[in-house]
Amino acid sequence: MTREQAIKLLHENMRNQNLRKHCYAVEAVMGALYDRLNVENKDEERERWKIAGLLHDADYEVTKETAKTDHTKKILEWLRLFDVHSDVTSAIASHAWGYLENAPEPVTPMQWALYTCDELTGLIVATALVKPDKKLASVTVESVMKKWNSPSFAAGVDRRQIELCSERLGIPLSEFIEIALTAMQGISGYLGL
């Protein structure tokens, strides 16, 4: 599956611009995490990580009424029509672990990367939105950490899920935030932040 095919699939099934932006943010972070975790940069494998990030929530609008039972099932069904590496589909399936009944636990670095960075992008966006200029350029690791320590801020963000970056990926939390923030700042124009 090419990135162009993935974008087309995303846009055909997701109309909400903010949800699309979330998917683009996760795509950018997945590329950055691939770069951090892999000594040998293989373009094809890196692209798979990014496509998993781009499409992980592609069925969210279609399944939102039954998300607790159906999220990821539709996107996995749609992906059967494409030549998609099993790394991508298994990462998408496991990103719903703990949310979706019967979702598999993440095992591989790619799966853990998607699982842990998904929630973090939301916290970073929320941090940007309380800045006077509402720009990612004004967000720092320190400002995210300050908000991190305020449980009432972005209360829906599962901080325990993000914290698994240390245990499962060997990336300390502050570095993990820096990687994600830098990746998102790199596409801030598209994100409108």
Burial environment of residue 39 by CB neighbours within 10 A (0 to 12, 13 to 18, 19 or more): exposed
What residue ranges define each of the domains in the chain, with the CATH number in brackets? 3-191 (1.10.3210)
Asked if 124 and 159 count as a contact pair (C-beta separation under 8 A), the reply is no
Q: What local confidence, expressed as pLDDT, does residue 101 receive?
A: 82
Tens-place pLDDT, residues 11-35 = 999 999 999 999 999 999 999 999 9
Neighbours of 139 (CB within 10 A): 25
Q: What local confidence, expressed as pLDDT, does residue 122 receive?
A: 98
DSSP string spanning 121-179? Answer: HHHHHHHHHTSTT--GGG--HHHHHHHHT-TTTTTTS-HHHHHHIIIII---HHHHHHH
Choose among 101, 107, 91: nearest CA to 26.
Answer: 91
- Tell me the pLDDT of the chain (193 aa) as tens digits: 999 999 999 999 999 999 999 999 999 999 999 999 997 778 999 999 999 999 999 999 999 999 888 999 999 999 999 999 999 999 999 999 999 888 999 999 999 999 999 999 999 999 999 999 999 999 999 999 999 999 999 999 999 999 999 999 999 999 999 999 999 999 999 999 9
Q: What local confidence, expressed as pLDDT, does residue 102 receive?
A: 87
Provide the phi-psi class of 134: left if phi over 0, else alpha when psi is between -120 and 50, else beta: left
